[in-house]
Structures are given as C-alpha cells and as structure tokens.
Amino acid sequence: MSLIHSTAVIEDGAILGDNVSVGPFAHIGANVKIGDNTTVASHAVIVGDTTIGKNNRIFSHSAIGTIPQDLKFNGEDVQLIIGDGNTIREFTLINPGTITGGTVTRIGNHNLLMGYVHVGHDIIIGDHCILANATNLGGHVEIGDRVVIGAMSAIHQFVHIGDYAMIGGASALTQDIPPFCLAEGNRANLRGLNLTGLRRNMDREEINILKSAYRELFEQEKPLQEIVKSLLATTKSNKVKSLCKFITTSKRGIPFTRNKIK
C-alpha cells in the first residue's frame, strides 16, 4: 500500500512500488518509477525519465530529474537512474544525462547527498558516498565507491575521483584524484592518503602497502609514469595496481607537488 497525501500530484503513468510515501504538495511526473519503501517528502519534485530504487529517502524541496543545465540540450530522451538506500536531503538538484554524455546520470546505492547538493548531467556516482552540504558537481564527473566530499566544494566537469578518496571542505577540484587519496585546497592538491577512510575499511597491512606506494609515486624525483610502470611490474597488491592504473588513464592529470628530496 502506498501512502499518498491528498495534495500531492501524481501524473498518469507514474509507477510507485509498495509502501511508497508521498508528502504534501510533492509532484511526481508521468515517466517516473519509484521502488518499494521509498519516502518522498513535501514539495519534492521528481520528473523526467527517472527511475528510483527501493528504500530511498527524498527530503523536501528536492528537484530530481529536471532538464540538464546544458544550453545544448534540446529535449532529447535522457535518463536519471538512482539505486537503493540513498538519502537525498533538502534542496538537492539532480539532472539527467545528455546526448553528448551518454544520456544517463547514474547514482548507486547507500549514498548520502546532503542539503543543496548539485549533481549535474551525465554524472556517475558509485556506492556508499557522502557529498556534504552545497557540494557542486559539474557535468560528466565520475565518482567511485566510498568517496567523501566536504561541504561547499566545487568539482570541475569531467573530473574523476577514485574509490575511498576524500576531498576536504571548500575545495575547488579541477584534476583527477586517485583512489585512496586525500586532497584539499583551491586549487585542490594531494595531501596524502585518506587514512581515516582506509582504517575504517582495510587492515593495517593493506594500508602500509598503500603508504609505501604513495611515497614512491608522489615523493620521489622520478617521472610519475616511470614509477607507475615500475610498480605495476613488481607489486602483488590489487589496490596498488588500481592506484597505478587510475594514474595511467587520467585525462585531466593528478594535482600534486613533489617534496624536495634532501
């Protein structure tokens, strides 16, 4: 049974699963699909070709599935797909994809998007991420799993952030951040590993291996790609391989400053 407030607008064609709750003055468009046990609070707007999974919490005044903020958008068929167990707080704006970006914006499972977050067009967000208040993501950004982005940070379009990375609050990020790393500043720069996040999810041996790889990559005078090639040839750690492969495929470059070796 769904619980729909009498003042909510549910357009013909919308599909709501079991135990979906829709609050006062919410608006759900004709092409929206919402999974079981999801709650939509008052004054939320969900429109477009939008699919939302199970057990999500969508707070008041969120705008989900509204057309991309892209002047080239001309009404093409585009999608927004949101997984299960996400919390989307007040005044969050999430746009679908565009033709030039693959047509889909995709958000995974168990993410927390705090108030006033903006998720632009053609973005991919993994699982278990936290985007703090007023985080702004430009179009085509890709974020891995268990990423944390501090409040009031701005992420430039096409930036890629790897798994377990953390971006400090009020940062302006214009380049790619490898997995497991911590970055902050305007412009954001690598500051080390995201040790707090790693300790919550990995054992000490894995962290020590990553520490050694980080020092070799970012604290020596050899060219970065030369170090990457050497590590890939010698390491047995899948996490170090992941770190190195991210660096080799980065299109925007990695923001770091080498420490001078004495």
Which positions are annotated as active-site residues? 121-122, 139
Q: Are the CB atoms for 201 and 164 separated by under 8 Å?
A: yes
71 by Cβ neighbours in 10 Å (0-12 / 13-18 / 19+) ranks as exposed
Q: Which residues contact 19 (CB under 8 A, 6 or more apart)?
A: 1, 2, 3, 36, 37
What residues pair up with 47 in beta bridges, in sequence order? none
DSSP code at position 258: P
- Phi, psi dihedral angles at 226 (to 5 degrees): -65, -40
DSSP result, 43-94:
T-EE-SEEEE-SS-EE-TT-EESPPPS-TT--S---EEEE-SS-EE-TT-EE
* DSSP SS3 for 184: strand
Question: Within 13 Å of residue 199, how many CA atoms lie on the same side as its CB?
Answer: 4
User: If we measure between CA atoms, which residue out of 206, 105, 229, 75 comes closest to residue 113?
Assistant: 105
Strand-pairing partners, residue 161, are 143, 177
Mapping DSSP to helix (H, G, I), strand (E, B) and coil, where does residue 156 land?
coil
